[in-house]
Structure formats: C-alpha cells, structure tokens
Amino acid sequence: MLRAMLRDLRAHLGRVAMTLAAIVLGVAFVVATWVVSDSAAATVSSGSYRTDLAAVVESRPKTTTDREIPVEVVARLAALPGVTRAEGVREGYAALIGTSGKIGTTSFAETAGTDWDDSQRFALTSGRGPQRTGEIALEAQAAAEAGLTVGDPARVLLGGDRSDTATVVGVFTYRATGWEFDPAVAFDADTATRLLRDRDLPPTAVTGFARIELSGADERAVVAAATAALGAGFRVESGSDLREKQAENARSDGDVIRKALLAFAAVALLAGVFVIANTFTMLVTQRTRQFALLRAVGARRAQVRRAVLTEAVVLGLVGSTLGVAMGVGLGLLAMRLLPVVGEVAYVVSPWAVLLGYAVGVIVTIVAAYGSARRAARVSPMAALRTDATVPRRSLVLRTVVGLLAIGAGAAMVAVTSPEDLTEPKRILAMAGAVLAWFGVLLTAPILVSAVLAPLTRLLRKPRPVTRIALRNAVRDPRRTAATSSALMIGLSLVCAFSTVGQTLSTETTAQISSAVPENAVVLRAAAFGTLDDTAGAAARAVPEVTALAAPRSGGVEVVAANGRSSDTEFTSLDPAAVGSAIRPRITSGGSDLRRGVMLAQRVGTELGVKTGDQVRLRFPVEGDSPATVEVPVTVVGLHEGSDLLRGQLVDDALVPSGVYRYGDSMYAVGADASVLRGALERAFASRPDVLVQDREQLLDDLLEPYQLVLGLVYVLLGAAVVIAVFGVVNTLALSVLERTRELGVFRALGASRALVRQTVRRESVVISLYGGVLGIGVGVLLGGVMQYVILANPVFGMSVPWLTAGVALLGMGLVGVLAALWPARRAARADILAAIATE
Amino acid sequence: MTNFDAAVSAEDLTKRYGSGDALVTALDAVTVAFGRGELTAIMGPSGSGKSTLMHCLAGLDTPTAGRVWLDGSRHGDAGRVELSGLRDDALTALRRDRMGFVFQAFNLLPTLTAWENITLPLDLAGRRPDQSFADTVIDAVGLRNRLHHRPAQLSGGQQQRVACARALISRPDVVFADEPTGALDSRAGAEVLGFLRRSVDELAQTVVMVTHDPVAASYADRVLFLADGKIVDELREPSADRVLDRIRSLESAARGTRTVGVGA
Ligand SMILES: Nc1ncnc2c1ncn2[C@@H]1O[C@H](COP(=O)(O)OP(=O)(O)O)[C@@H](O)[C@H]1O
Ligand SMILES: [Mg+2]
C-alpha cells in the first residue's frame, strides 16, 4: 500500500518538487527570522561587556542641569582601600560637521564627546588613541556616516558654539555600560577638559565628570567603600549590576526584534499554508483514479487516508530539512548584509531548527488533512470512469462562516466611534478588522465565481484565448481562490500599511501646509537638537526677515474660572508672526496673542471654556525650589493643535522668566523667498547645528522616517508575496498537467503554440490580477481601520495610496506573466498525439 | 489507383517507430488517394496502422518518408499544398482552416459551451460563422436546444454530434474521424454515422473515417483494408455483410489468428 503510494510519488517527481518547494520556502522564512533575531540579540550584547569595572559612580542630581561630579572627587576615590584605579569620564556636546557644513545625526550630540583613556571603553578598529590637541578618535558608525577615516581632517562642533578642527588618528567601537549612549568623538584628556561641555555652557565654565569608573579586585568592598565615602549625593552601582542590566537590555531588544520579525514570518507562513494546501489538493485530485483503484482492490478508507497523511509527513520532513538548511543560510546571509559595524554574532539555536521542523510538518499535515479525507472518500467506481473527480465538500459552510466573520468584524468596528476611542475600543476595532480580513479569505472561492464569471459576459466578444483563460480561472473556484488568497495575504498587508503611511503623510502635509506659508524659510535644529536664543536673535537680525515665528513649548496648567484645570502644554511666539510666518488653524475667535491666549480646541472643550472667558495659566518655574507663577489671561480664540503649534498659544512676552521652554524650528517670511533664503543661509553659515530649508524640505525630513519604516515593512511582507507567486506557478503548472488532453485537442483543432502559451498566460494574469484587486481593496479597508485606530480619524477618512495600489496592480500583472512562463511553455509543448490517443 | 479528383493523397507514406530489434513499421510505403465528396472508411485489425495513417494525413504526425498533399478545389490552384516540410504554425493553420476532426472521445473543451465548441475553429481563425450554414449544421445534428450546455451536461452521443458539427463548421477540405462511434452505443453511433453520411450527400463534404465496425464501414462509399501498414484491399459500395466477408477472407489469407475489431 505505502510502497504503491511512494512509487506513485516517484512517478510524479515534478509535482512533488512543487509541493516541496512551497514547504521549503515557508519553513526557510520562519527559520531565517529566528536566526536573525537570535543573532541580532547576540550582536547587540556580544563582546561589549567590560570586565574592568568594579563600580561606577554618578551624582544624584537635584535638578536636571547640574549633574556633573567635581574633579577632586576622583582623587578621593582613588585613595580608598581596594580601589586600584579611578577614572573620571567626561561627556560633552560634540558633533561631526559633514561636507554640507551641517552636523550629522548618528549620535546623540549632547553627550557625543568624551575623553580618551586606555580602559575597556574603547576598542580600536584602526589607528591609535588621540594623544594631543589636534587629534581625535571617532566611533566607527559616526566615522562611516561622515565618510572619515584615519588621517582625514575633521571638523567638530562643540558646546559654547565653538568648532574645532582635528586629524582623525583612530577609529573605535564603544562598549557602553548601563544606559550610556555611544559617543562619537574622543579627545585626549587635556583637550577634553578644555573643550567638552554642555551645549549652552559658556567656554569659560568649569566642568566636571559625568561619572567615575572604579576598578578593584573585590567588587563589594569597592562599592561599600565608595558609598561610605561619598554619601547621599551620589549613586554607586556595582560592575556586575551594570553588566546584568545591560544583558537584560540586550535580551529585551532581541525580543522586540524577534517579535516584530515573527509577526511577518507568521504572515508569510499563512500564505505558505494556502500554497501548500492548494498544491496538496491538486496532487490528490490528479490521482483520483489511483485511489479508486486502491479502493477497488480492497484498501479501506482509513488506509487510503493514512497513506496520504504519511505522504504528507514524509514531504513535510524532507521539505523542513531543506527549509531549515535554507533558512539558516538565509538568516546568516542577512546578518552578513546588515549594516552592522564591528563584531557580528551568528547564532543558530536548536529552537530555530526545532521550530522549522514543527512548522513544516504541522503545516503540511494540516494542509493535507482535508485532501486525505477526500481521497479516502473516492468511490471504487471512479476507477472505471475517465472523468472521475474527488468529492468535495460544498462551499456553503465555509461561505456562511466567512460572511459571519465579515459581518461580525464590521460590526465590531462600527460600534466604536472616533469621538470616544478608548484603548479597549481600539483593540475591539482592530480585532474586528482582522476578523473581517479572515472572513474575506473564507469567502474567496464564492467571490471568484461571483466576480470572474460575469466578466466573460461583460466582455462582449471575447477572443477565444481570453474566454478560455477566464473559464479556466473560474473552473475550480477553490483553486483560484486559494492561489489568489495567498497573494492577497501579503498584498493586503502591504496596502494596509501603505494606507496608514499615506494617511499619516497626508495629515502631516496638510498640517504643515496650512500652518507654514509656502514661501516661508524654515530654520531647524539639526540632529534632533534644539534652537537656542542666539539662533532666534541671529535670524531676527537679518534685514530681509519681515516676520519670524520662533515657537517654543513647555508645560503649563490651564485653570478655568469654573475651577476645572488641565495639565497641558503651551507654545509661545511673537504675536506679529501669527498669521504671517505661521498660521494656527483657528476653530473659533481670533488669533491676536497681544490680547490674550489661544487655547487648543481639545483643552477648551475639556474645560468648558469659550472665546472671551478668563483663564489662569500656571507656569512651573525652574530653580532650586520648584515654584509656579500664575498669569490671568483672556481667551481670544481656539485652535486645532498641531505638532508645530502645540497646546495653548501665548505671546513670548507673557511667559515669566525662568520657565523652561524649548523649540527646534523657526519660520521666517520676507518680501522675496529666494533672497530671504540666501540671506538666512549666509547668516547661519557658521551654525552647523541649524539647517536652512524650505517647506518642501521640511516635509521631506518629517516624512522620511515613515518612508523608511514602510520600506522595511514592504521588504518583510515581500516574503509572503514571493511565496504566493510561487503558488501561482504551482497552480498553473499542475493545471496544465491536468489538462494535457484538452490542450492536445485545442492544438489539433488549430491553436498554435503561441496561442496556447497566451491562453495559459492570460489565465495566470487573471488569477494574479484578481488576487491583486482583492488584496488592494481589502488592504485599503484594513488600512482605513488601522489609521482609525491609531489616529481616531473616521474609518473612511483614510488617504488611498494610489501610487502603491497602481504599482501593486502592475506588479501583479507582471507576476502573472512571469509565473506563467514555465507552465505556458509546458502547455505549448503538449503532445497532440498523446493527448488524443484513447489509452 | 484510379485518377479521380482527390481531396487528400499520399505517396509512399512510411512511418517507423523505434530502431533495431524494437523497430516497428506502422506504415509501409502507402500510396493512397481520397476522393472529393466521398466518405472513405479505413478498416483493419488493431495495430495495422489505421490511426498512424490518419495522423500522417492530417499533419498531426510526421511520416518517416513519403509525401502528403491536401488538395482543396475550394481554394483554387493555390489550394494544393504538400504537408511534408511545413512548419508547425503552417500545419496548425492548415488544420484550423482546412481540416475537421472527430476523435473517439474527449473532443470538446470542457469550459466552453456546445456553441462555443462548434465555432472554436472559426474563432481561432478570427472569422465569424456564416449564420445560415451554422443553422444548417446545427439542425442537421439536432442540437438546437443544447447550444448553451457545457460538454459535461451532454450525453456521449450528443458530445460526438457537437464534435461533428465543429468539424464541419469551417467547411474544411476534409474531415478526419478516428473511431467516431467507438465509445457510443449502437443507436447514438447510428445517429453520428447518419450525420456524416448526410454531410457527404448534402454538403459534398469529404470524410475519411477510421473504424473497426463493419456496420459503420457500410455507411462509406469506399472501404480501404489495412494490414501490417499496407493497403491490402478495397471495396466500393460496401454493405455490412460484404465488409464482413472481406474481413474473413483477409483473415484467413493472413497467417495467425488476429481478431479484427478489438481496440482502435
Ligand atoms: N508512438 C509509438 N511508438 C511506438 N510504436 C507505435 C507508436 N504509435 C503506434 N505504434 C505502433 O505502430 C503500429 C500501428 O499503430 P496504430 O496506427 O495505432 O494502429 P491502429 O490504429 O490500426 O490500431 C502498432 O504496432 C503500434 O504498436
Ligand atoms: Mg487506432
């Protein structure tokens, strides 16, 4: 029995190979994901543990600004018993100035400068450490971003608005401890003492150490001694605690990566399940007569079922083995190609291998189970018929469940509303969307007949090729549905994310476009920094500037006359610039900040405050003892808050001194935009930390992160699409095999080889386009719910990503053509004589 | 061979399969002509080369040696074509426009309706069916109320009649039928044969039919007897009895006991 089956499998090696390939791809992606996340986690933590640390001392700051340790503390600590070495570490503002004259973005500039020492903090990858003024060493990634290597001259922007030119003498990788950021630039100790300080500290200010690192054989003794010596103003952490914290961080970083990647692997796997199940079904269907013969000669149903399942297990095991091997290879290759500087760890855990096998075998068995049951139900009589088919369960149950899922999902979304979108409701709406998405997968076969069948009638006089292609596509709706569903899975998610991205970027664009005049020049702090007062003064000093909006935000409590209050934000700016250099979106009242405050609409609604009412603004004032200052003010209007103008808008002059506020952008307008821009570029030529841009560039910069994330998402979802494309090839190839006879008749009746190829190609394009249209439609709707859940916009308020949709549709057309290449060639080679011979 | 107006003719047609010990000569230098407007039946024991002869005549198979001409008076002088040496596309077009086929079974494309199957050769050529001729053919096969059915919804006899209609719709120079009644019961078979006969009588169609059934052969104007790849005898104005007699005498003439009429 089994031997007969296996021999039969061997006789159909081509079909077996196609099933195997589907399993291999699915398994490979899962295993590769696991390997990449293991390796990534290991890379994050590998080799960066320092063994030379007994303890680290930091000051416990009273305020956020004063946290440096006086230099003389080092000598006190060095003298303690058990301490073999005490090393003060400096941190200060430093940023490499690139060829554009502006600073780069790789490092957190506030702490990117440090002093070189020969501890394990630094691991040189080339050159040597800096020894005198005029020499620096660079962190590898920062050096790569600035395009600098050993021997190059480099310009560094420093605190106190100075810049320094030095020669790069070494490139290093950094071993960070605890929460420390990697620095970008290391100076020799003397130069560091002279140059390194916070961004806004004057060059003359005396600076201290950010922390002190202690070495010593007995860690506990060192910690105890240091704690006793320093008292309450300092925090002493042991080296092993720091290492443990760091390992924990690495683990959780690795976990985050793994979870994200596995979500994508799951999607690819789902597409794989469809492909494998479909291929299996075809494999069984094509052997109907063989099963019937087995039954006729006395095989019991259970035996046939078991035989098919055994076949699935064998294929699953073989496919998993190949898939695991390919996945490990792919994963390691991906780690090689990742832009990681320094040591890359390659980890293949037993879990990756086990998971690969589990997935491959279980998925194959699940996929084959239905086929096995159907194969067992083949009647022995079928052996006598030449047109015997495997009995199939009716689609009624599946369709009903699918429609119910769609209905329930839609209802779950519908019961929530944008006005009152709490966390549980967001989850409910998202779950509804996912449920409806599965519903569509279930109803896909009915959809195939419902959509494609009328198409033949719509085309008034279809050429025979088109007619036959369309008819073949709807011939077995399940098969077409499974094939296009696999495509739909990946594609709908691509389109959903694209819709969210598009909506976000449309919103951002609308916000910026309405707030910033088109001819405004935008001044922005580079590298996620902030703009200081001198930048504002410098801009105002440019004669071409007719109005300058320099919004700066901070925290404020708004207290209404009715006693209600709200902890929120304020943004202060020059009243003269409101309406000219920046335009709030006014929802009621006016915008003259000289006469009072503009409340954010949300706050106005929350407090029940209207235009003309009085409110008190309670500002926190910084200082040794926290205090607040209250300012009574009239509400002149309400506005729709935005990222540019956050919270309550007030006159610069209204904000009491000592209130912390910061801004990272300024907007200038003048008579002639290009003249203005030229003037501002000249004025800020000596400010590497300030970018001079127009509105378009600002938008590009703001939208770039979305594009990057979306790009990554597309690449990861690409795996699901690739597997699905493979499914199209599978379906076509097996269909062609199944239709040898009719292809022969078709050829005998006068269809040329080219015509046969064209017929198969059309069928392929029809299936692919159908999957494409379904995927895009479902994806945009899913995206609508996703942006609703994220932004609380109306569901149908999403922006449709026409470009992505167009490209996807074109891509699917192309997929159709490419997937048909081989099956079409096979079909065209059909041997007429063999086809029309009556066995 | 009498020198009459031939629709298809072949000269020294030879077909060999395999080589060495396994060499089979399926056709052995056959020279034959099929008269225009005649129904010719080819008979012979199983394995005698009937199908091979038909396939070579129709350009479905390539002979090892010899030549085949298709001679369509409807196409004027240019209508005389020699098949050997034609490329696949030219042969395909020739089959589409100038030949009709009825096979033993599985003649129809399952996804197309009866009407679409019938007009397929014209569709492929990009021609529109001549409605009055189509009506004639459809009424002759009696399929008027079955035109929008799929093959799966038709009986075997109805399917064969659809195939006959399709073979005639493009008014080909010749219709080749390989055991057209082989899979039918005698009643359905008689319908199909009657239809082929009428297409010859009423439409002046040329038909070449392979059969192993003496009754089927009796519908023909002329019967050719094939044995071991050679034409061994011929009969004009056959009746079933005369055909059977001739088969018996050929059988006894041949050494061994081959049964006529088993398989195609
Ligand atoms: N493709 C082939 N390969 C080898 N031998 C073949 C092939 N086709 C036919 N033959 C042989 O050629 C001979 C004639 O076959 P065929 O024309 O099919 O006979 P018929 O149709 O009269 O039964 C037989 O001996 C058959 O075995
Ligand atoms: Mg035969």
Q: Which whole number is the average pLDDT over A731-741?
A: 83
- The residue segments making up the domain with residue A426 are 395-442
Range in A346-355, A457-466, B231-240 with the lowest mean pLDDT:
A457-466
Whether B24 is in the pocket of ligand 1, judged by its Cβ within 6 Å, is: yes
Q: How many CB atoms lie within 10 A of CB A171?
A: 21
Give every CB contact of residue B143 below 8 A, 6+ residues apart in sequence.
B114, B158, B161, B162, B165
Does residue B61 form part of some domain?
no
DSSP-assigned letter for residue A99: T
Residue A838 has pLDDT above 70, yes or no: no
Q: Which whole number is the average pLDDT over A236-261?
A: 82
B141, B152, B42: which is closest to B106 by C-alpha?
A: B152
Q: Which two tokens stand for residue A833?
A: 């004589």
Q: Which two tokens stand for residue B111?
A: 């996804």
Give every CB contact of residue A325 below 8 A, 6+ residues apart in sequence.
none
Q: How close, in Å, is residue A40 to chain B by CA atoms?
A: 54
Give residue A227's identity as a one-letter amino acid code. T
A211 and A226 inside one domain: yes
Does residue B152 form part of some domain?
yes
Q: How far apart are CA A774 and CA A760, in angstroms?
A: 21
Q: How close, in Å, is residue B101 to chain A by CA atoms?
A: 7
State the closest ligand 1 atom to the C-alpha of B45, by its place in the atom list counted from 1. 22
Does residue B193 form part of some domain?
yes
The pLDDT tens digits for A523-580 are 998 877 888 888 889 999 999 999 999 999 999 999 999 989 999 999 999 999 998 9
Share of chain A above pLDDT 90, in %: 28
Whether B36 is in the pocket of ligand 1, judged by its Cβ within 6 Å, is: no
Check residue B256 and give its pLDDT: 54
A248 and A349 inside one domain: yes
- Nearest neighbour of A752 by CB, restricted to B89, B105, B120: B89
Q: How close, in Å, is residue B2 to chain A by CA atoms?
A: 31
Does residue B125 form part of some domain?
yes
* Strand-strand pairing, A135-139 and A122-127: unpaired
- Model confidence at A678, pLDDT cuts 50, 70, 90, reads very high
State the closest ligand 1 atom to the C-alpha of B49, by its place in the atom list counted from 1. 17
State the closest ligand 1 atom to the C-alpha of B226, by its place in the atom list counted from 1. 22
Check residue B262 and give its pLDDT: 41
The pLDDT tens digits for B188-237 are 888 889 989 988 998 889 999 999 888 889 999 999 999 889 998 888 88
Does residue B64 form part of some domain?
no
With CB atoms and an 8 Å threshold, state whether B60 touches A748.
yes
The pLDDT tens digits for A264-306 are 888 888 888 888 888 878 877 777 777 777 777 777 888 888 8
Q: Which whole number is the average pLDDT over A199-226?
A: 84
Considering only CB atoms, which chain A residues are within 8 Å of B183?
A: 838
With CB atoms and an 8 Å threshold, state whether B92 touches A832.
no
CATH number of the domain residue B116 falls in: 3.40.50.300
Alpha helices in A531-571 (DSSP H): 533-540
The pLDDT tens digits for B229-259 are 999 888 888 888 888 888 888 877 765 544 4
For an interface test with B, which of A385, A743, A838 has the most B Cβ atoms less than 10 Å from its Cβ?
Answer: A838
Q: How far is the CA of B264 from the centre of ligand 2 (A)?
A: 4
The pLDDT tens digits for A118-139 are 888 898 999 999 999 999 999 9
Does residue B29 form part of some domain?
no
Are A214 and A55 in contact by the 8 Å Cβ rule? The answer is: yes
Residue A483 has pLDDT above 80, yes or no: yes
For an interface test with A, which of B103, B127, B184 has the most A Cβ atoms less than 10 Å from its Cβ?
Answer: B103
ipTM value: 0.84
- Give the mean pLDDT of chain A: 85
Considering only CB atoms, which chain B residues are within 8 Å of A836?
A: 60, 103, 106, 178
Q: How far is the CA of B46 from the centre of ligand 2 (A)?
A: 7
With CB atoms and an 8 Å threshold, state whether B112 touches A468.
yes
Measured over the CA atoms of residue A245, residue A247, residue A253 and residue A255, the dihedral's sign is: negative
For an interface test with A, which of B17, B60, B111 has the most A Cβ atoms less than 10 Å from its Cβ?
Answer: B111
A660 and A523 inside one domain: yes
A66 and A150 inside one domain: yes
The pLDDT tens digits for A5-56 are 667 767 677 777 877 887 888 888 888 888 887 887 777 666 567 888 888 9
- Nearest neighbour of A832 by CB, restricted to B60, B109, B182: B60
Q: How far apart are CA A618 and CA A632, in angstroms?
A: 9
Q: Which whole number is the average pLDDT over A405-418?
A: 89
The pLDDT tens digits for A83-125 are 899 999 998 888 888 877 888 776 678 888 999 998 888 989 9
Examine the fold and report which residue of A238, A253, A275 is the final residue of a domain before the chain moves on. A238
- The residue segments making up the domain with residue B132 are 37-49+87-254
A275 and A306 inside one domain: yes
Considering only CB atoms, which chain B residues are within 8 Å of A833?
A: 55, 60-61
- Model confidence at A166, pLDDT cuts 50, 70, 90, reads very high
Residue B156 has pLDDT above 70, yes or no: yes
Number of domains forming the structure of chain B = 1
Considering only CB atoms, which chain A residues are within 8 Å of B124?
A: 464, 749-751, 755
A296 and A434 inside one domain: no
A124 and A180 inside one domain: yes
List, in sequence order, every beta strand (DSSP E) within A83-132.
85-89, 91-92, 94-97, 113-115, 122-127
Are A216 and A222 in contact by the 8 Å Cβ rule? The answer is: yes
Are A540 and A548 in contact by the 8 Å Cβ rule? The answer is: yes
- Model confidence at B264, pLDDT cuts 50, 70, 90, reads very low
Whether B44 is in the pocket of ligand 1, judged by its Cβ within 6 Å, is: yes
Check residue B260 and give its pLDDT: 45
**Predicted structure pTM score:** 0.78
Check residue A40 and give its pLDDT: 77
Q: How far apart are CA A115 and CA A197, in angstroms?
A: 12
Q: Which whole number is the average pLDDT over A702-730?
A: 84
A133 and A187 inside one domain: yes
- Nearest neighbour of B92 by CB, restricted to A745, A752, A836: A752
Q: Which whole number is the average pLDDT over A825-832?
A: 84
Does residue B118 form part of some domain?
yes
Examine the fold and report which residue of A207, A238, A269 is the final residue of a domain before the chain moves on. A238
Alpha helices in A739-801 (DSSP H): 740-748, 753-791
Phi-psi region of A596 (alpha: psi -120 to 50; beta: other; left: phi over 0): left
Residue A348 has pLDDT above 70, yes or no: yes
> Which residue do the tokens 């490419």 mark?
A818
Does residue B202 form part of some domain?
yes
Segment of A464-468, A633-637, A703-707, B16-20 carrying the highest mean pLDDT: A633-637
The pLDDT tens digits for A180-197 are 788 999 999 999 888 888
- Higher model confidence: residue A221 or residue A395? A221
A600 and A701 inside one domain: no
Q: How far is the CA of A552 from the centre of ligand 2 (A)?
A: 94
Check residue A839 and give its pLDDT: 46
Are B182 and B160 in contact by the 8 Å Cβ rule? The answer is: no
Q: Which whole number is the average pLDDT over A810-824?
A: 91
State the closest ligand 1 atom to the C-alpha of B178, by its place in the atom list counted from 1. 21
Give every CB contact of residue B221 below 8 A, 6+ residues apart in sequence.
B35, B38, B39, B40, B200, B236, B237
Number of domains forming the structure of chain A = 5
A532 and A587 inside one domain: yes
Range in A509-518, A519-528, A597-606, A827-836 with the lowest mean pLDDT:
A827-836
Query: Which residues is B68 bridged to in the sheet?
Result: B10
A539 and A617 inside one domain: yes
A351 and A214 inside one domain: no
- Model confidence at A384, pLDDT cuts 50, 70, 90, reads low
- Higher model confidence: residue B3 or residue A441? A441
